[in-house]
Amino acid sequence: MGRLFWKFFSAIQGALLTAGLAVGLVVTMMRPAPHKDLELEAGPHALFMVDTTATLLAHGGVDAVKDMGVRWARSRPGRAQVLVVDTDGHDVLGRSVPAASLERARQVATTEAQDSPPPLAPALLAPPPPPHEVARKVALADGRAFVLFIPTDGEAPDGPGRPPHMRHEPVFLLPLVAGLLASLAFSAGLAWYFAKPVRVLRWAFGAVAEGRLDTRVAREMGSRRDEIADLGRDFDLMVQQLSVLIEAQRRLLHDVSHELRSPLARLQLAIDLARQDPSKLAQTMARIELESQRLDELVGELLTLARLEVGNRDGAMAEIDLTELVESIAEDAHFEAQASNRGVRFQGEPGVVLKAHVELLLRAIENVVRNAVKYTAPGTEVEVDIARIPNQPTIAIVVSDHGPGVPAAHLDAIFEPFYRAENGRAAHGFGLGLAIARRAVEANGGKIIAQNRPEGGLRVRIELPL
């Protein structure tokens, strides 16, 4: 268990203990202090029973009290009973009379008689008196006098039936220990619940740092539906994307090494030929110059692709006239295509203005148009159109050629670096133009899609937000 577990545990346990101590302190302060010197029952219940018995004795006599006492004993076995004691210290029902309680009852009854006369009927509707001992002295017409009370010592017949405020106080240590154990269990469970996914994430980060990119934590999160579970799912997405990027980098390095090997081999061959036959020095130097240019072009495109891969965008965004930009690219491409009996035709609505990275967008559109000119059939034209997408704040640039097209399964692969078609399209260049175009369009918030035309050829569609 790590430090986070103990932090959670300590915080939760401290909060529970503080709350428990505060509640206990408030309850203790609000609770009336018990009367240690009481020997008689007190409270509303004792007052009711003693006053009822006193009223019955005064109006019904000893026989009525005996009858009621028997009934109470039968209906309330083991509960507190009112003792009715005469001047000789004997109870009318023959029950044992504690001497100390009897003496105390005579003192209380005398004090009550001096303060106010005994009630003629039980005070059913009167507010409960403060907790003090209850005893009554009743004198009958025949001269006999009785003291009525409920004893509280161990010799009293009521035993376990005493009112709640006079029962034995529970041991304070027992609820304290029970509360402490419950709070410990609750704190440990809650701290474990919070700390477990963090430990799982820590393990997962360590595994990824060691190169195990197949590590996933979603299953370890179980059925959690909280922010920590969302963090675990985001971690899985991050690792998955990282795995894709690393695999792409490995494939790129492999392709780059393959592409560099061919011009370097031709350079080495040209140098060897120049050494063997000095008379062909001019021819070999021309070949060396050509291969050097190809290497420079390849390195330049690789650097551009690398900058786009890491999100490095050339220049700030600025407002441009897209129609004017695309028209100028189409005119330049048409001028160059005439040498190979090809052409470029432009059509689009004027005044389409948007905000973009100008250099990146120029590079993307130029690569797509020149790629189409390269593969369109001789005697045909590449069609470049600009149109707004209905009901959307988006503009589309569509470049269509009349070439051999691309197999449907490879339509997305042509935007990957060093792609080589497996059909009639010639493998000119290095296969980086469309890859650069895709990343440049995405850097401007758009997307690029390739489709085969029903009448033959390839259609590349660039969508940009206005």
Q: Which of 35, 59, 90, 258 is catalytic?
A: 258
Strand pairing of 447-452 and 145-149? unpaired
Q: How many CB atoms lie within 10 A of CB 294?
A: 17
Active-site residue flag, 334: no
To 5 degrees, how large is the angle CA 456–CA 465–CA 320? Answer: 100
Phi, psi angle pair for 194, to nearest 5°: -80, -35
Residue identified by tokens 């033959």 is 456
Residue identified by tokens 């985001």 is 234
Which secondary-structure segment (H or E) carries 146?
strand 145-149
Tokens of 439: 């990343």
- Per-residue buried b or exposed e for 239-248, using 16+ beta carbons within 10 Å of the residue's own CB: beeeeeeeee
Q: Where are the alpha helices (DSSP H) in 116-226?
A: 173-209
Query: How many whole angstroms separate alpha carbon 226 and alpha carbon 294?
Result: 55
Which secondary-structure segment (H or E) carries 353?
strand 353-356
Residues recognised as catalytic: 258
